[in-house]
Chain A
Amino acid sequence: MREPPVILSAVEGIVDEVMVQKLIAEAGGSPGTVYGKNGKAFLRQKIQGFNNAARTWPWLVLVDLDNDAECAPQLCAQWVPVLASYMCFRVAVREVEAWLMADADSLASFLGVSRNRIPANPEQLDDPKTEMVNLARRSRCPAIRQDMVPREGSGRSVGPAYASRLIEYIQTSWHPEVAINRTESLRRSIKCLKQIIEKVSK
């Protein structure tokens, strides 16, 4: 059997890093070095470089749509008008948190909240991160609340160990194969990855 192809990636932050590693493995690839992790502005600045690199090697670049554009194709057209042949440029609608909510059972049990609190259509949310924090606020588990919800007066939108909790969730509980049923942007991302892997393997 052939070795799974190594896929390089570039992302906004440390949670996205774990996300792309999981997606690449899910699609049958082998996660390579993850670049960026210095915010969206950094990726925006370097995207042309990553796209050039993707002429010869498979790349996955993942960004949040946020409220930068109406829809994912629009953002894609702004960032990379011409995609290189091995570039898988994907946009999470509107944030990676929406993908995490799309596996509702797993998230409900990880956060310790009731299943019906998890939004049914996470891609419709304007601000999935705030929604995630609000879900954690209702957690039955004090440790989750303390880690994920910002202290009053902290001036931040997330708690002190928010990122590490999401990372833990992605690594231990989140099932992308379940989540794709509720988020089109995730379904397409995995599909695109699989196509690229197939293309490389030929």
Chain B
Amino acid sequence: MDEVEEVKKKPSYMSEHKFLLLIAYSIIVSLILVGISLEIYNESGAAQLDLSRPGYRSVQSKAITNDNELQTYPSTGTVTLSTVQQFEAIYNKESQQVTNIDAYGGDPLNPDALEISTPTTDQ
């Protein structure tokens, strides 16, 4: 009878290593969550806008951080010829800032530009 009670009281593996298992599970879960977070960071496009990444430090200081110069145009109010002309002046000034730049133009990845010659392609 005493023997039976002794067997019953013997702690299980789980209860014996409860704390270690808790730490192990916590580490595994946190690694998975970090992986998922990194995936979201990469796939959401946030990584492409993050100039604090190591490779981007040389240009970080050149980023426009003050975007408050351009005020949001009021979406309510009368529409007179004068307001249209005023808006047009603001719009033309702002749009010229982007249309004057041929962003991503040129062909810097051309093999000739990179001094790696053109291959014969197997298709």
Chains A and B belong together in one complex: no
Which A residues are within 8 Å of any B CB, using their own CB?
Answer: none
Which B residues are within 8 Å of any A CB, using their own CB?
Answer: none
